[in-house]
Amino acid sequence: MKVLVPVKRVIDYNVKVRVKADKSGVELANVKMSMNPFDEISVEEAIRLKEAGKVDEIVAVSVGPQQCQETIRTALAMGADRGIHVLHDGDTEPLAVAKMLKALVDKEAPGLVIVGKQAIDDDCNQTGQMLSALLGWSQGTFASKLEVEGDAIHVTREVDGGLQTVQLKMPAVVTSDLRLNEPRYASLPNIMKAKKKPIDQVAPGDLGVDPAPRLETLKVEEPATRDAGQMVEDVAALVEKLRNEAKVI
């Protein structure tokens, strides 16, 4: 079985995000970028399935500028077999990405697509669900455990009431949650080997997709700063402030 794993290049989660002076977007110049953490979990899960003998090939896919090849190389160093880069320098939205992935799925014919549940830059949480709808495939979202048994897959997913386990017929789309696994670090030998692994490059037009955004960002602002906390002498003073200043009781 072949597994397709989309990976996105985002601002590193350790970096403090800054808004541009003109409030047109987020500052990306001279900012450390890395693979979306949820996509790292997806790559790790695909590798574990391959190590268990359930998967034959792992294909990492990324949509974005030329620098996205670094993100694909990271996936290859972790253990993916080859990469596909959809070269696009403009902004991308979930629906356009889902359409590009559908075209690649039609071409590659994987039995499973594992995608991070959301990207930490836009937090849309839409691409996996849209891809499933476009393909007409089963979907298991927010997966915290994944087991492949023959032509079926058991997905344990996190819901408000606890954990829910669903059985899906493959082919299927699974979106990974934080507790699915702990991604591995790429070893130096694997990083060197990744440089020789193939990465195919295509354009959105080659896939028959128009990547033009459907939404226009009017303004981006930083969250309002919170006031410093106050120390009170006793419960009576706390109640007085909550009633007369905060007006919450």
The count of structural domains within the chain is 1
Residue at 240 is within a domain: no
Question: What percentage of the chain reaches a pLDDT higher than 90?
Answer: 73
* pLDDT beyond 90 at 217: no
Residues 140 and 172 sit within 8 Å (Cβ to Cβ): yes
Q: How confident is the model at residue 27 (pLDDT cuts 50, 70, 90)?
A: confident
- The CATH number of residue 210's host domain is 3.40.50.620
Domain membership of residue 138 as a residue range: 2-224
User: How far is it, in rounded angstroms, from Cα 126 to Cα 13?
Assistant: 20
Comparing CA positions, the residue from 80, 104, 109, 95 lying closest to residue 171 is 109
Residue at 243 is within a domain: no
* pLDDT beyond 90 at 25: no
Residue at 238 is within a domain: no
Nearest-5° angle of CA 142, CA 11, CA 122?
50
Residue at 244 is within a domain: no
User: How far is it, in rounded angstroms, from Cα 82 to Cα 211?
Assistant: 24
Residue at 239 is within a domain: no
- Is the bond preceding residue 189 a cis peptide, omega within 30 degrees? no
- What residues are paired with 85 via a beta bridge? 62, 201
pTM of the model: 0.86
For range 215-243, the mean pLDDT: 87
Residues 104 and 61 sit within 8 Å (Cβ to Cβ): yes
Residue at 76 is within a domain: yes
Task: Note the pLDDT tens digit of each residue in 167-210.
Answer: 999 999 999 999 999 999 988 999 999 999 999 999 999 999 99
Residue at 86 is within a domain: yes
Task: Note the pLDDT tens digit of each residue in 231-243.
Answer: 888 999 999 988 9
Residue at 135 is within a domain: yes
